[in-house]
Amino acid sequence: MTQKIRIAALVSGRGTNLQAIVDGCRQGLIDGEVVLTITNRAQAGAVDRCRREGIPCLYVDNRRFSSRESFDAEVASTLRQARVDLVILAGFMRLLTPVLIRAFDGRIMNIHPSLLPSFPGLHPQQQAVDHGVRFTGCTVHFVDEGVDSGPIILQAVVPVLDDDNEESLRQRILHQEHIVYPQAIQLFAQGRLKIEGRRVRILSSSG
């Protein structure tokens, strides 16, 4: 049996991806456990989810810190103390600094609601509608020091319909996010992700 990995989630919003991952762990789809959640928003919906699920949730108020680096140093130290194997960003609306990225090099994942490298940054669904693309989707990637730019693990494609707006597209993409994020985490848990420069090789399950 595979050893369970210790997962920490950084969240700022509703936490539906966090929920999908917690459910995936409980259902045995992920050989892991969410041992800690950190939020920079006390009112985030994800906080209520943690309470319901009995997952420790730590609120770190970024306004207490004089720099992004000092906030990240505190987060990195907390994650180290919790002996975390993998950090997942699940709607965490802050850019990480090298302080945190280097502390967990190759062990931080993010999900972004577009087919990267198209439409990084804010409002990717609106960007897709405005640009007139026929397909968009979501991307799970390792985090590097750029914005939504790290090596890509998995993607899912979502068609853009003629009457789509930001909200309708957001919902259909989110549905796919809840499928691919747990899958990517399970590949990591199984030790099947190998970063080779910009590319991520997925090793076969037999090794």
Distance between CA atoms of 207 and 204, rounded to whole angstroms? 6
In the list 36, 50, 112, 200, the residue contacting ligand GAR (rule: CB under 6 A) is: 112
Residue 140 binds to ligand GAR (criterion: CB under 6 A): no
Q: Which is nearer to ligand GAR, 32 or 113 (CB)?
A: 113
Name the residue among 33, 40, 49, 39 with its Cα closest to residue 84. Answer: 33
Q: Rounded to the nearest whole angstrom, what is the least distance from the CB of residue 170 to ligand GAR in the complex?
A: 7
- Residue 131 bears catalytic tag: no
Q: Which is nearer to ligand GAR, 15 or 32 (CB)?
A: 15
CA 31 to centroid of chain Cα atoms: 17
Distance between CA atoms of 8 and 85, rounded to whole angstroms? 8
Distance between CA atoms of 86 and 108, rounded to whole angstroms? 6
- Residue ranges in 82-111 that form contacts with ligand GAR under rule CB under 6 A: 90-91, 111
Sheet holding 86-89, edge to edge: 57-59, 32-39, 5-11, 86-89, 108-112, 135-142, 152-159
Residue 144 binds to ligand GAR (criterion: CB under 6 A): no
Residue 14 binds to ligand GAR (criterion: CB under 6 A): yes
Q: Which is nearer to ligand GAR, 5 or 21 (CB)?
A: 21
Contacts to ligand GAR by CB under 6 A: 13-17, 90-91, 111-113, 148, 174, 177
